[in-house]
Amino acid sequence: MKCDLSILELLKKVDSRHVNYLIDVLTDNGNGRLALSSSIKDLLLEEKAEQKYTDLGLRHLLRELQEYGGHSFVNVFRSEPLSYSELLTDVHKKLNGIDSKKKTDSQKEREIVFSLFGQEWQSLDDHSRWERCTESKVVAGFFKMQDNLRIDDKGVLIGLSAAASAAAFVALRMFPATAIVSTLGIINKSVGEAYRITIPFVAHVAMLKMMTSKKV
């Protein structure tokens, strides 16, 4: 069962609620998705209900999450699931990040987390994080990462304050609907579906890596 082993080890160490979140993202809160087999969905939901995740269950979860990255424009012809690092770069580019291919994984992770979740990234509730990651304008490519990042007086990258970050997403929701429809019209449906999974997956893993890092 091929999956990103470094992320597998990370999920084995974190609180189970973080795995619960990723299962909800993958299974659309248990409703299932067309590209997700019912047997894998049932396995993951059963382990979630029991709050006892096996190595096999986590491997299935990661493989499915990584395979959704193959539905993007660039990777549609890939036969193997994409690595987390490749998905990270793809999501960073989708959020209109700068120098996505030149920056380190750590730099991209911080920019994704801070721009989407703001300074309160560790305390923002799951629903709010998921909602921001799957906001239609974010999925359609209208999110401007740099507009949601700041540098403090020590030259350290930070996110917007809780109030400013929330206000930014309120403003994003007010983006003209006609522009969104026009953009979505040229985006393949499977690609849009993929980003509704890939963005929250990458953002959550990036957040977990920052939480477990000695230096945030």
DSSP string, the chain: ----HHHHHHHHHS-HHHHHHHHHHHHTTTT--TTS-HHHHHHHHHHHHHT---HHHHHHHHHHHHHHGGGSTTTTT-SSPPPHHHHHHHHHHHTT-SSTTTS-HHHHHHHHHHHHH-TTTTTS-HHHHHHHHT-HHHHTT---GGGGEEE-TTS-EEE--HHHHHHHHHHHHTS-HHHHHHHHHTS-HHHHHHHHHHHHHHHHHHHHHHHHSS--
How much is the pLDDT for 126?
95
Which pTM does this prediction carry?
0.89
Q: Is the pLDDT of residue 45 over 50?
A: yes
Q: How confident is the model at residue 130 (pLDDT cuts 50, 70, 90)?
A: very high
State the average pLDDT for the chain: 88
The mean pLDDT of 122-149, rounded to a whole number, is 94
Q: How confident is the model at residue 155 (pLDDT cuts 50, 70, 90)?
A: confident
